[in-house]
Amino acid sequence: MTTLKKTRPIIALLLSLITPGLGHVYAGKLKRGIAFFLVVELLTVSVHIFSAFRFKFYGLVWYFAAWTCLLGFSVFVLFDALFGINKLRVTVLKPYHKWYFYIVICAVTVLINEFVFEAVLPDIKAFKSYNMSSVSMEPCLYVGDRLIADMKIYKQVKPKRGDLIIFEFPKDPSKEFIKRVMGVEGEKIAIINNKIYVNDKIIDDPWGYIENSGEKNYLKELENFGPAVVPEHSFFVLGDNRYNSMDSRLFGFIELSKIRGKILYVYWAKDKSRIGMEIR
């Protein structure tokens, strides 16, 4: 004997919010519901996979593409269940229309999402967005550049010369500065007429930029520095725009514990040709 049951759109909506596809199961569309459920979970896993590639610009693009697909498809599933129920009004009761069947599906969803969330969370915390707000790193970085930084890299390795790092401003820990590492622990650093010497030998400095306009040269007196030995677990940092940078010449060496991350690439800039540019 066929038993019909009146369907309620609000129940389909709530079930779909709890687990995409469950509202379709409630409407008697088991295969459609399972298909939607599997697609949503596949997209959720894809978000996790692409989050691990955000250390490259193309990885960030695919990461946001996966998120867009996940959110868009989830909304589609929601409305498909809602409008389907509005048209259906009643459904034939099936063996799977049992309260424990819904609980099992919800439990499976929770377990999958918890696993994915636990896997994704460390990756999310490993990256952070920054906005360049000063001219101190020109011409590498410009005011308004939006940057992605790896916030976990220095838990595994130490900064090296040439790295663009984010660190706590020694005089105000609430502020973060972006500068380039030019000297590492144990090295003897000296600057003579804007030439950098490490252990009494001049080094190649492809990053240093000297502003000659006269108007902004308020740090010109810092053409010379040192010599000074970088303490243990500390680093000597400079801005690329040497006459327009507050750096180790003024506030001293930066302790490793104060370094928060490393700039990886530009993900947005006024000059669109610079979008995706890796920082070297």
Catalytically annotated residues: 136, 179
- Token representation of residue 17: 């919010």
> Would strands 188-192 and 225-229 be described as parallel, antiparallel, or unpaired?
antiparallel
From CA 225, how far away is CA 192, in angstroms rounded?
7
Q: How many CB atoms lie within 10 A of CB 254?
A: 25
User: In whole angstroms, what is the distance from residue 161 CA to residue 164 CA?
Assistant: 9
Look up tokens 């809602």; give the residue: 82
CA distance 245 to 138: 10
Residue 153: closest CA among 144, 164, 145, 143: 164
Q: Which two tokens stand for residue 91?
A: 């459904």
Beta partners for residue 180, in sequence order: 164, 238
* Residue 270 DSSP symbol: S
DSSP, res 243: G
Asked if 262 and 178 touch (Cβ cutoff 8 Å), the reply is: no
